[in-house]
Amino acid sequence: MALSGVLRPGFVQIRVLDMAESIIHYRDRIGLDVVSTEDDGRVYLKAYDEFDRHSIVLRECDEAGLDMMAFKVSSEAFLDEYEEKLRADGFEVTPIAAGEQPGVGRRISFVAPTGHRFDLYVEMELSDNGPMTNNPDICQQDQRGMKAIRFDHCLLYGTDLDGTKKVFEEILGFSTAEVVVDDDTGMIIALFLTCSNKAHDLAIVRHEEDDKLHHVSFLVEDWNAIGEAADIMTRYDISRDIGPTRHGITRGQTIYFFDPSGNRNEVFAGGYHFYPDNPLRVWKASSVGKAIFYYERELNDRFMTVVT
């Protein structure tokens, strides 16, 4: 499938309460590599199978949560087009100069109707230890921890789900792959958006508070890797939310857990492939237990209520 415009999730900047503990969690437990620690204290990391310089940014703060999520765009022409369309639709767009993050070109930033900040950019330096391209081995060095392949997606919570859906579909060219709707009114409760042929690159749930993070997800190879992640969680007393299990929505295999600051993480495998001509997949709210946790067929209260 030919991709242009918004290509994929690029990076996410997460607020953490204790940087030393967070580095152990994301580096040693999830298996990311630390790329650099900058003068402002931010720490940049990447997964072993990512070409770009970084995909995770940690910023120490007194409140956990999400600073922003950034998407990579295919060309400067598309970046200019998105800026023009966002401004025309009444959004305040903030230009961010190249170099605000090391190795990253200019960005544009806007706040969606759910209160979340999203950045768009074109250029990022390639990693010094990205995937090999000449007679390539699977990885350049031994993998660690949960062996995260890449930063995959985020699930966010906010009030104006419909307004954010409109922005991502009509301005940024995303498709809606799957929804959860109220049985009686048909109102969308949860939205699964994709800019690729993944089941989702961004998910958003209707919530009474804006600008909330539900989880940051990392792709792992398969169901066995999910089980190995569960072993690591038990060995190192990592707070587990639920799993290993499987989703009905996206069909992905999953386990959820928390970083030391209380931000929820997921390691995720599988899921269906999406194409723009696919019919919309719809779940009724009365079946949401099966939709989210396909085997258990019921919700974990903490999963629905704990956000940062």
Residues labelled catalytic: 153, 200, 215, 247, 256, 266
Sign of CA dihedral 87, 8, 197, 251: negative
Is residue 229 a contact partner of residue 267, using CB atoms and an 8 Å limit? yes
> Is the CA virtual torsion 13, 15, 19, 24 positive or negative?
negative
Do 243 and 295 meet the contact criterion of CB atoms below 8 Å apart? no
Distances (CA, A) of 291 to 157, 239, 283: 17, 23, 7
Cis-peptide into 276, omega within 30 deg: no
Helix (H) or strand (E) holding 227: helix 223-235
Q: How far is it, in rounded angstroms, from Cα 94 to Cα 211? A: 18
Work out whether the CA dihedral 217, 168, 4, 93 comes out positive or negative: negative
Beta strands in 74-112 (DSSP E): 94-96, 107-111
Q: Residues 49, 55, 60, CA angle at the centre, nearest 5°?
A: 135
| 281 bridge partner residues | 178
* ∠ Cα 14 15 21 (to 5°): 100
Instruction: Report which secondary-structure segment, H or E, holds 22.
Output: helix 19-23
What count of residues does the chain have?
308
